Amino acid sequence: MDQSIQDILKLLKLERLEVNLFRGQSPNEDRQRVFGGQVLGQALSAATYTVRDMNCHSFHSYFLRAGDPNTPIIYEVDTARDGRSFASRRVIAIQHGKQIFNMSASFQKVEEGCEHQIDMPDAPDPETLESEHSLRVKMADRIPASYRDLFLRRRPFEMRPVEPKDLLKPEKLEPKNMVWFKADEGMTDDLPSNQAMLAYISDTTLLDTSMRPHGLSYMNPKLQSASLDHAMWFYHPFRADEWLLYVQDSPASAGGRGMNFGHFYTQDGKLVCSTAQEGLIRLHD
């Protein structure tokens, strides 16, 4: 069953149980573990609920255990500091009495200052590229029938890879990746909702960048992959339902881990966010 943008926005809107205690749900899907982007977005939402008149400018987080998709996630927020210009929050995600994830987030009042950015690299316009969903449809007959429905399920955001790879027989490529993203219509105007949505989206392709030079994809039955940590830095307001170019690179992999960096640009070339993630890329015999 396809997801709608309202389904994701509902996931990112948490139930308040106490002043700094929140509960998040997972979608009714046939998953073995909770999608990391969901936990990122929900934890950021929890932290944002406890801050007034400030926007998140950065967060750093660690995935500790696989999330159980059949159990609600409890988010406990520690209001570490409230200053005049900055506020700090720590979020712990709990299931079955154990931490599965933690996040440190920093918020800042809007202010003017020095500005510069690295330029957006040249990339084809998203309208000239084929969607990731369309590419999956073309290879559907190569996917086991038991997995085909989940493989073909459309997500509530458009993905258009600049240099797509064959998920079943990937070639060895440069450790670089560019993908255009755009959430479906229905996003609200407020910045926190768009930041939570981008946190959700950012976990979709980043780890894959460190697999490209090794000819790997998550479809490889010998591969064990998982996000280990994730950080984001927000520079300017943006809308997640307008085209954003996700420019990703992987400087190194070692010890069964791959390091990845990413930058989100608006279609007119403004850098609005950067990401970093180390992930597990362990091969079994």
Residue 277 a catalytic site member: yes
User: What is the spatial distance between Cα 268 and Cα 153, in angstroms, rounded to a whole number?
Assistant: 30
Return the residue matching tokens 């079943």: 168
Task: Please give the sequence-ordered ranges of beta strands (E in DSSP) within 185-284, or none if there are none.
Answer: 223-227, 229-234, 244-254, 257-266, 271-283
Task: Retrieve residue 138's tokens.
Answer: 């073309």
Residue 137 has phi, psi (to 5 degrees) of -60, -40
Q: Are 123 and 178 in contact (CB under 8 A)?
A: yes
What is residue 111's DSSP assignment? -
Residue 30 a catalytic site member: no
Q: Which three-class secondary structure state does DSSP give residue 239? A: coil
* Catalytic residue selected from 38, 95, 225, 227: 227
The DSSP bridge partners found for residue 223 are 283
Residues making up the chain, counted from first to last: 285
* Catalytic residue selected from 193, 203, 225, 253: 203
Residue 146 a catalytic site member: no
Query: What are the residue numbers of the active site?
Result: 203, 227, 277
